């Protein structure tokens, strides 16, 4: 009797299973028929074809198209994370902890390793719900389907998207292994608050790598993707913890972990540690700019600063913008590791020096930004790379602001004299003791103090910033030759209209940046050899493979003894000249002041064997600042920063000039921007086209401490220091 009852029970179960299967098949057919007979058969066929195409065209790279890049300071500390819309760190499957993989499969797709991309029973449940509700209300998605949706489709809940999701999942299972699919999934799934992938979530919520997390913390993270808004750890922590416990229990029931491990993990207290990286405005903007240009170069872009005509420049600018945008997009999504030369301690000191030096000026514009601004750049003379950069006064603002250190171009005043005129003349036989004429020039510049000393040494002319001497020497040298030195150091805003004597005192068409002034003076300190002052030491991929390594190739701009002789002269500026009293305690230093017309721009640029620093002070919209000279606010900022930067460093004297050079031996570049027939720019004696008119941009152009306006030989007015 018992045997018959048992046999009957087995038959009943079998028939029940058959009936269930028939019912499920009928439901599937009913659901599919509902849509096919509704005229959707063609659309479904098209979706299948599109799914096959999408997966066939995919590769491993398809699933890691966006990765967060990281920026490190000179000591290897993470100082910025560079990301597009997503914060993503890609990990290969063997670097994702086993517990994390097991937890995700347990809670999201138990049959992951046995199905072929689709859980048909779950699909049937979704079809029933769809028929009952008239729309898709249940996901029923396997891990493969979720991956298909996240990478290839939108998040819209439509039957069309669901069908295509199924087709894509099926094709993915044919092309990729289960481990690959799980790897793709765990690196792309959303964990709320901008974090995509389990590594980004670990960094975001616990401030450490997923490999450093406990089982409890891993399960906590795996609780989020099912419904990122509902299980947002920052706003619904208890919900996330409740789901964590459920995951741990299911892992135990699935015999993935033991009961003892389960109990230990469940008792563990989860504490979030969300470390928000401080925004470093000027460090970040210059880093992104420098790194983007490196990526442009690696892609074959050729940079130019000189052009034959406006048409060529316009075409270049268009090509540059396109290449820059493409490279910048790669930077924000490429998962790069960018190692910089920035020293955060020096950065803070330089920012404080600028802020403290201008603290008395509290006027702000309509945008709330201080109207009086300052910018400064410090270059490490050992490496030639930027150690600190300040593009303006510190203020609490959203987003990034103008980085005046490399984005603003202003008239340099007398600060340009050493690199434009005096060092080139030292190459041509002049010495510090050469006698020069400090006498009035008809229709020419006057001296700052209105005093003329007749015959004086070139050293004294530099120390006292004699405008008359600089003007006469440039007339002798010719503006074209002087400018060729700046061109060779990649000054970006040189213009053909700069071929005029007014540049002897900083009267440029477009101006120069604090970064350019710093790199020019760093070239003097480096025995006349120029190095590009970027801030990138190296760039690697997320996998650690080296992409770029700074080699700081040097280009000879000035002859060694001319550069050293100029340094020797500039030391006197800080002891006997316009920068007297700004020197650094016990540390040999050299530098030069610069002030423009009507005290609109103030400069101080100086260096030691250790560092070169340039400082600019002025209004974004040029206007007079009473009392502004190179030795005032800029000089004080320079002194205070450099004094602090050299604390504890051994005093190092500058190197002496080696020998007197052959005055006929000099060459800066093979060709110059200013290779123009003499009849177009005037003879070397300095004569100019009588119809020449200075461009509007030259208003407020370079002046010396006097700020006197003068005229050239054609009668045109220009301003001088």
CA 487, CA 672: separation in Å to the nearest integer?
7
**Dihedral of alpha carbons 28, 30, 33, 35, sign:** negative
Question: What token pair was written down for 695?
Answer: 């461009």
Q: What is the 8-class DSSP label of residue 263? A: H
CA 262, CA 271: separation in Å to the nearest integer?
18
Question: What token pair was written down for 51?
Answer: 């799914």
CA 506, CA 522: separation in Å to the nearest integer?
19
**Dihedral of alpha carbons 292, 294, 298, 299, sign:** positive
Q: Is 246 exposed, middle or buried (0-12, 13-18, 19+ CB in 10 A)?
A: middle
Closest CA to 466 of 478, 449, 483, 443: 449
Closest CA to 164 of 152, 180, 177: 152
* 408 catalytic residue (yes or no): no
Closest CA to 616 of 697, 512, 473: 512
Contacting residues for 220 by C-beta, under 8 A, at least 6 apart: 233, 240, 241, 244, 270
CA 24, CA 498: separation in Å to the nearest integer?
84
The alpha carbon of 432 is separated from its chain's Cα centroid by a whole number of angstroms, namely 42
CA 373, CA 120: separation in Å to the nearest integer?
67
Closest CA to 327 of 298, 285, 302: 298
H/E run at residue 165: helix 159-175
Dump the DSSP string for 196-227.
ESHHHHHHHHHSS-GGG--HHHHHHHHTSTTS
Q: Compute how many other C-beta atoms are within 10 angstroms of the C-beta atom of residue 262.
A: 20
CA 274, CA 509: separation in Å to the nearest integer?
49
Phi, psi of 70 (to 5 degrees): -125, 145
Secondary structure E strands in 391-487: 435-438, 454-457
* 414 catalytic residue (yes or no): yes
Closest CA to 219 of 265, 269, 274, 183: 265
Selecting among 414, 502, 632, 698, the annotated active-site residue is: 414
Helices (H) and strands (E) in the chain, counts: 24, 18
Q: Is 635 exposed, middle or buried (0-12, 13-18, 19+ CB in 10 A)?
A: buried
Strand partners, 592: 605
Question: What token pair was written down for 604?
Answer: 């101080």
> Buried (b) or exposed (e) across 207-244, using 16+ Cβ within 10 A?
eeebeebebbbbbbbbbbbeeeeebbbeebeebbbebb
Q: What is the 8-class DSSP label of residue 650? A: P
The position carrying tokens 């609490």 is 396
CA 440, CA 95: separation in Å to the nearest integer?
76
Closest CA to 557 of 420, 378, 371: 420
Selecting among 70, 108, 525, 571, the annotated active-site residue is: 108
- The separation between the first and the last C-alpha atoms of the chain, rounded to the nearest angstrom, is 119
CA 577, CA 451: separation in Å to the nearest integer?
15
Query: How far is residue 514 from each of residues 76, 389, 563, 632, 697, measured CA to CA in Å?
Result: 27, 10, 20, 17, 18
Give the SS3 label for residue 655. Answer: coil
Catalytic residues: 108, 414
């Amino acid at each position: 009797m018992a045997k018959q009852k048992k046999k009957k029970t087995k038959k009943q179960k079998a028939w029940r299973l058959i009936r269930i299967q028939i019912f499920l098949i009928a439901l599937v057919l009913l659901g599919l028929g509902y849509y096919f007979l509704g005229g959707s058969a063609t659309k479904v066929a098209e979706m299948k074809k599109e799914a096959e195409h999408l997966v066939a065209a995919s590769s491993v790279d398809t699933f890691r198209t966006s990765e967060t890049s990281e920026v490190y300071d000179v000591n290897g500390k993470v100082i910025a994370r560079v990301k597009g819309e997503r914060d993503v760190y890609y990990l290969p499957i063997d670097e994702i902890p086993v517990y994390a993989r097991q937890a995700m499969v347990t809670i999201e797709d138990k049959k992951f390793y046995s199905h072929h991309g689709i859980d048909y029973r779950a699909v049937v449940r979704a079809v029933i719900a769809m028929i009952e509700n008239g729309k898709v209300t249940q996901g029923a998605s396997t891990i493969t389907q979720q991956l298909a949706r996240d990478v290839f489709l939108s998040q819209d809940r439509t039957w069309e998207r669901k069908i295509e999701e199924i087709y894509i999942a099926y094709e993915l299972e044919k092309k990729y292994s289960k481990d690959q699919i799980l790897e793709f999934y765990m690196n792309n799934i959303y964990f709320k608050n901008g974090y995509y992938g389990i590594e980004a979530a670990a960094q975001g919520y616990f401030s450490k790598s997923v490999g450093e997390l406990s089982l409890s913390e891993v399960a906590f993270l795996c609780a989020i993707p099912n419904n990122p808004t509902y299980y947002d750890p920052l706003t619904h922590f208890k919900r996330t913890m409740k789901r964590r416990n459920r995951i741990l229990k299911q892992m135990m029931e699935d015999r993935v972990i033991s009961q003892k491990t389960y109990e230990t993990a469940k008792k563990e207290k989860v504490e979030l540690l969300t470390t928000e990286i401080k925004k470093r405005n000027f460090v970040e903007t210059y880093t992104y700019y420098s790194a983007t240009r490196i990526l442009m170069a690696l892609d074959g872009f050729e940079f130019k600063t000189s052009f034959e005509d406006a048409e060529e420049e316009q075409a270049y600018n268009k090509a540059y913008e396109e290449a820059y945008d493409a490279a910048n997009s790669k930077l924000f999504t490429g998962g790069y590791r960018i190692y910089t030369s920035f020293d955060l301690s020096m950065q803070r000191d330089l920012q404080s020096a600028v802020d403290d030096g201008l603290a008395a000026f509290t006027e702000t514009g309509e945008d709330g930004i201080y109207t009086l601004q300052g910018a400064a750049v410090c270059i490490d003379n050992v490496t030639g790379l930027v150690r600190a950069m300040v593009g303006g006064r510190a203020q609490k603002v959203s987003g990034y602001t103008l980085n005046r250190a490399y984005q603003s171009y202003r008239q340099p005043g007398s600060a340009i004299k050493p690199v434009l005129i005096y060092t080139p003349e030292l190459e041509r036989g002049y010495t510090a003791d050469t006698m020069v004429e400090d006498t009035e020039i008809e229709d020419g510049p006057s001296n700052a103090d209105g005093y003329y000393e007749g015959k004086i040494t070139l050293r004294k002319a530099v120390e006292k910033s004699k405008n008359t001497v600089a003007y006469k020497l440039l007339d002798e040298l010719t503006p074209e030759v002087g400018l060729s030195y700046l061109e060779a150091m990649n000054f970006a805003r040189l213009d053909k209209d700069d071929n005029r004597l007014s540049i002897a005192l900083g009267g440029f068409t477009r101006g120069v940046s604090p970064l350019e002034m710093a790199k020019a003076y760093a070239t003097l300190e480096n025995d006349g050899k120029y190095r590009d002052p970027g801030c990138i030491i190296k760039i690697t991929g997320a996998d650690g493979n080296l992409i770029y390594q700074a080699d700081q190739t040097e280009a000879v701009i000035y002859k060694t003894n001319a550069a050293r002789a100029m340094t020797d002269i500039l030391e006197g500026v800080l002891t006997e000249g316009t920068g007297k009293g700004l020197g650094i305690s016990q540390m040999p230093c050299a530098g030069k002041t610069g002030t423009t017309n009507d005290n609109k721009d103030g400069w101080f640029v100086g260096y030691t064997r250790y560092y070169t620093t340039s400082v600019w002070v002025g209004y974004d919209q040029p206007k007079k600042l009473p009392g502004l000279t190179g030795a005032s606010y800029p000089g004080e900022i320079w002194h205070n920063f450099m004094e602090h930067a050299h604390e504890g460093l051994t005093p190092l004297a500058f190197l002496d000039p080696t020998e007197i050079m052959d005055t006929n031996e000099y060459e800066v570049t093979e060709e110059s921007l200013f290779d123009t027939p003499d009849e177009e720019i005037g003879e070397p004696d300095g004569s100019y086209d009588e119809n020449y008119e200075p461009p509007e941009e030259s208003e407020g152009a370079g002046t010396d401490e006097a700020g006197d306006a003068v005229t050239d030989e054609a009668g045109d007015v220009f301003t001088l220091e």
